[in-house]
Structure 1
Amino acid sequence: MSVKIGNNIDLGAFPLLLAPMEDVSDPPFRFVCKQNGVDMMYTEFISSEGLIRHAAKSKQKLDIFEYERPIGIQIFGSEINSMREATEIASAADPDLIDINYGCPVKNVACRGAGASLLQDIDKMVAMTKAVVESTQLPVTVKTRLGWDDNTKNVYEVAERLQDIGIQALSIHGRTRSQMYKGQADWKLIKEIKRNPRINIPIFGNGDVDSVEKAAAWRLEYEVDGIMIGRAAIGYPWIFREIKHFFKTGEYLPGPSIEERVEVCRTHFTKSIEWKGEKTGIFEMRRHYANYFKGIPNFKEYRMRLVSLDKAEHIHETLDEISSCFDVSLLT
C-alpha cells in the first residue's frame, strides 16, 4: 500500500524523507538528494516572524522548484497569530504541504517559545496547529520530538491531539529536547504511536538512521510508514539510493566512486553559486567538502585548499585534480 499525505501526495510503499536542516537543506543540497532518489523533502525551517516582516533571508527560503516535488515548507514560531499569517505567505509559494517545526532544540529557538519549546505547552501547540490548519488548503504535517525531557515524554498525547485537529502526517525524532543530538535515538515510543489504534495518519521515524542496515532493520522493528534522514545525508546523498536499492533487491550497491563524489560535489557547488551568488555560494559550500570526501586517506591537503579558495574556477580545477589523483580503490 502507498503512503499518502492528504488526498494528492502519494509517496509510494515506504518513503524516504529528507529532514529539514537549518543551513543545510537549501535548494542546492535538495537537488543532489532528489537526484539520488529521496521521496519527499522540506525547506530549511523558516521563522514566522521573519516571513511576516518580509526578512530577505526568510523570503529566500521559500524558493522551491518543480523538480523538487513533493516538497513541504517548514515554519516555526512562538506566536499563534504570526504562525497563521506565515502559513498564508508560505502557502502562496505553492508547496505541496506546510510542515510545523515543534522539534528544533537549539537555544535561540526553543528558549524563545518556538520549536521544541511547545512540547512544554501542549494546549498552545494544539491551538497553534489548529490555526495553521485553518489558514491553508494544503495538507499540514508536524515534526517533533519525544518530549521536553525524560520526565515529559508526551508525544503519544501530541500525536492523538494533533491528528484530531487535522494534521496529515507526523515525523518524530527519537530524542527529547534535553538530549539535543546526544546519546542514541529511542524509537520504541514511535512504534507505540504507530500501533495506537486511534492513529491513522502516516508516522515517520527520524534519528540515527545512517546506514542501509539500520534502515532495513528499523523498518521492520518499529513499523513506521517511512524514514526521515537528516545528518547522514550531508555529503552523502547516495544513502537514499542505497537504501531503496536494498529494499527492492536485497542487495547492496557499491559506494560512490571518487569520480561520482567529485561530480555530485561539483553539482552541489554549481547550484549553490547559481542560487546564492558566487561569494555566498563558495562560502556556504565549505561546510560540505569534508563530508563529500570523508574516508579518503591523505585528503587533508585538498580539503584545506577547497575551504580557502575564493574563486569558482579554482575550486573546479581542484575538483578536477581530486578526480584524477585519487584511485577508486581507495574507497574499498
Structure 2
Amino acid sequence: MKIGHVDTGNLTVFAPLAGITNLPMRLLAKRAGCGLVCSEMISSNGLVYNSAKTVQLLDSVPAEKPLSVQIFGADPEIMADAARIVQAAGADILDINFGCSVKKILKSHSGSALMRDPSLAERIIAAVRRAITIPLTIKIRSGWDASGAQALAIARLAQDGGVDAVAVHPRTATQGFAGHADWRIIAAVKKALSIPVIGNGDVNTAADALRMLKETGCDGVMVGRAAIGNPMIFRQILAALDGRAASPVTDDQRIALMVAYVQDSVRYLGEETASRMMRSRLCWFVKGMRDASQFRSSIRFIASQAEAMELIRRYARSIDAPAVVESF
C-alpha cells in the first residue's frame, strides 16, 4: 500500500491507541510484520507549548519505520505548527484524529467533534497540508449517527484538501467500542474516493481481515485492540493473504513477546517508568493462557527489570516453556 510517496510494505496497519501504542509496543508489531505503525494520539497544544511528556511521545527508532504520528486539536494554526514539529522529528506520515469520542477531547472540539463541524475540519486540513510535505492522513468514525453521511462528507472534503489516505472506523461517536462496526460505511467511502481507504473495526483474526478486504474493497486493514498483547496477528494476516494457514500463537511466542516488551520498555522509557507499566501491561500477553490469574497477581508490585524477568521466568517454567526460559 502506498500513502503519498510512502510505501508501507504491506497492507496491515497498527491503529493509534491512546496510552498503548508507544515505541516498545510499536516495535513488537513491526517485528511481527506490521506494515505501518502509528503513534498514540498526541496533543497539538502539548507539542507547540513544548510539554516534555508530550514531546517524548515523538521518540522513534529506524526499526519501526515507516511511522505515522497522530495529532489532535481544534486550532488550525496550532495544528499546523504541531505538524511541522512532527515532520521535523522524522515522522513519515502525519495523521489527524477525527475519531476520538472521549469527553475531554470532545470538550476541546477535537476528535469526533470535528466530524460535525465541516468548516473547522476543512480549515484544519488546509492549514496542516500547507505546513508539511510528508503524506497527510485522517482517521474518522461513521459520524454522530449510523448513516455514515458525515463519514462520506468528511472523507470527500479530506480528499479535496490534499489528504493522502483515510482510515475509517465505522462506529458512531456515541458507540465508543460497543456494538458492531458497520463495514458497509468503509465500502461506501472506498467507492467515493480515489485515495487509499484503510478499514478499521472488528478485525480480531486473520479471517476477519480477509473478509473486510473482500466485503469493502479497502486498500489496507487497521488492527487495534486485537493486537494488544498479540501483535502476532499481523503475521497471521500476512500468512492468510499468501494463502497459508495462520498458525496459532504458541506459549513460547507469548513469553518471548513479554521479554522483548520489558527489555524495550526499559531501554526507551527508563527502568522506573517501565516497571510501573509492566504491573498492568504484562497481563495483556497472557490472556487465555494457563495459570494466567496467578501470573497477574504476581506482577502487581514489579519494581525493576530484574524482578519482571524473574516473574516471567517462573511463569514460563510453570507452563512448561523451557526453551524460552533458557533464552534470556
> 1:5–1:168: 8 Å Cα contact kept in structure 2?
yes
> 2:279–2:302: 8 Å Cα contact kept in structure 1?
no
2:44 is the alignment partner of 1:48: yes
Q: Aligned with 2:13: secondary structure?
A: strand
Q: Which residue matches 2:140?
A: 144
Question: What is the CA-CA distance between 1:286 and the residue it aligns to?
Answer: 2.7
Question: What is the CA-CA distance between 1:245 and the residue it aligns to?
Answer: 0.6
Q: Which residue matches 1:11?
A: 8
Q: Which residue matches 2:230?
A: 236
How do 1:150-161 residues align onto structure 2 when only pairs under 5 Å count? Answer: 150=146, 153-161=149-157
How do 1:1-332 residues align onto structure 2 when only pairs under 5 Å count? Answer: 3-7=1-5, 9-12=6-9, 15-150=11-146, 153-196=149-192, 199-253=193-247, 255-327=248-320
One-letter identity of the residue aligned with 1:11: T
One-letter identity of the residue aligned with 1:4: K
One-letter identity of the residue aligned with 2:51: A
Deviation track 1:49-90 (CA, whole Å, cap 9, x = no partner) reads: 101110011100111111111111111101111101111111
Q: Aligned with 1:172: secondary structure?
A: strand
Deviation track 1:81-138 (CA, whole Å, cap 9, x = no partner) reads: 1101111111110111111111111111122101111011011101101100000111
Question: What is the CA-CA distance between 1:144 and the residue it aligns to?
Answer: 0.9
Q: Paired residues, what number?
A: 321
One-letter identity of the residue aligned with 1:145: R
> 1:11–1:40: 8 Å Cα contact kept in structure 2?
yes
Question: What is the CA-CA distance between 1:152 and the residue it aligns to?
Answer: 7.0
With normalisation by structure 2, the TM-score equals: 0.94
Structure 2 Cα separation of the partners of residues 285 and 204 of structure 1 = 31
Change (3 A) 1:151 1:40: closer
Q: Aligned with 1:170: secondary structure?
A: strand
Question: What is the CA-CA distance between 1:151 and the residue it aligns to?
Answer: 6.4
Which consecutive unaligned segments of at least 5 residues does structure 2 have? 322-328
- State the percentage of identical aligned residues: 32
Which consecutive unaligned segments of at least 5 residues does structure 1 have? none
> 1:153–1:176: 8 Å Cα contact kept in structure 2?
no
With normalisation by structure 1, the TM-score equals: 0.93
> 2:16–2:70: 8 Å Cα contact kept in structure 1?
yes
